[in-house]
Amino acid sequence: MLTALLFDLDGTLTDTDTLHLQAFRQLLREHDGRELSQAQFDAQVSGRANGELFAELFTGANAEQCQALAERKEALFREMAPCLEPMPGLLRLLEHAQARSLGMCVVTNAPRLNAEHMLSAMGLGQRFEHVLVAEELARPKPDPLPYLTGLQRLGAEAGQALAFEDSLPGVAAASGAGIFTVGVATTQTPERLLAAGAKLVIDDFNDPALWALIDSMQ
């Protein structure tokens, strides 16, 4: 029986990867004139937590400098995203879950300021019981810990939950926690999402296959 829904944020609740790519491109040009291609972003950046990512991108920078660069990039992103559109069908799913008293949680590798900004920009600031920020935990995605923590906060079992993810690290984290993981094909191909551990891939939350799955778990 379905009791809980756990959602990634960037690329899952709202399609933000284009904005993140623009922010990274501006930061890299400001810093050392580097360029970042869409293919590099998809393969090396999308879905990853900032700590490890910025240490890789700026190999000559110390931890304090990497933190300052990350904060600059996220500030650029928030400036570019004053308003955000929920993914098609998301509000329908949230209303369905609320009517059935399903637990709902956001599990994100985004920093806390970004998570709060994005939810507010979508008008969803009060819709989730918990917003778990992976950087506030011991290990971010692709480690299962953020999703295991989400299940614990909701008092749910993995077999009674669905997770929604668009990135390969996110799919690995959710499936590694034993949750039936639905890949949202905004930033990766269905083939890559399935190879990472997704059990179903959808285009958006109106997908009939998703609703058939939900019906089968009620």
Over 90: is that where the pLDDT of 47 sits?
no
Is 110 found in the same domain as 125? Answer: yes
Identify the CATH number of the domain in which residue 24 sits: 1.10.150.240
Which residue range forms the structural domain that includes residue 31?
17-80
Residue 61 to residue 55: CA distance in whole angstroms: 7
pLDDT at 134: 87
> Hey, which residues are catalytic here?
8, 10
Is 146 found in the same domain as 65? Answer: no
Task: Name the CA radius of gyration of the chain, rounded.
Answer: 17
Average pLDDT over the chain, rounded to whole? 95
Residue 136 to residue 121: CA distance in whole angstroms: 22
If phi > 0 it is left, if psi is from -120 to 50 it is alpha, else beta; for residue 89 that is left
Comparing CA positions, the residue from 6, 7, 12, 5 lying closest to residue 218 is: 5
Residue 86 to residue 122: CA distance in whole angstroms: 6
| Threshold 0.95, pTM exceeds | no
pLDDT at 28: 96
Element (H, E) at 197: none
Report residue 39 CA to chain centroid gap: 19
Over 90: is that where the pLDDT of 40 sits?
yes
Is 96 found in the same domain as 73? Answer: no
Is 90 found in the same domain as 58? Answer: no
Is 48 found in the same domain as 38? Answer: yes
Is 142 found in the same domain as 189? Answer: yes
Half-sphere exposure of 205 (CA within 13 A, CB side): 23
In the DSSP assignment, the letter for residue 87 is: P
Q: How many domains does the chain have?
A: 2
Report residue 108 CA to chain centroid gap: 5
For residue 187, name the pLDDT band (cuts at 50, 70, 90): confident
Is 115 found in the same domain as 11? Answer: yes
Tens digit of each residue's pLDDT (9 = 90 or more) over 94-123 = 999 999 999 999 999 999 999 999 999 999
Is 125 found in the same domain as 68? Answer: no
Identify the CATH number of the domain in which residue 190 sits: 3.40.50.1000
Residue 216 to residue 91: CA distance in whole angstroms: 20
Tens digit of each residue's pLDDT (9 = 90 or more) over 23-34 = 999 999 999 999
Is 136 found in the same domain as 110? Answer: yes
Is 25 found in the same domain as 93? Answer: no
Helix, strand, coil percentages in the chain from 3-state DSSP, rounded to 5: 50, 15, 35
Residue 159 to residue 191: CA distance in whole angstroms: 24
Is 164 found in the same domain as 98? Answer: yes
Comparing CA positions, the residue from 200, 181, 175 lying closest to residue 190 is: 200
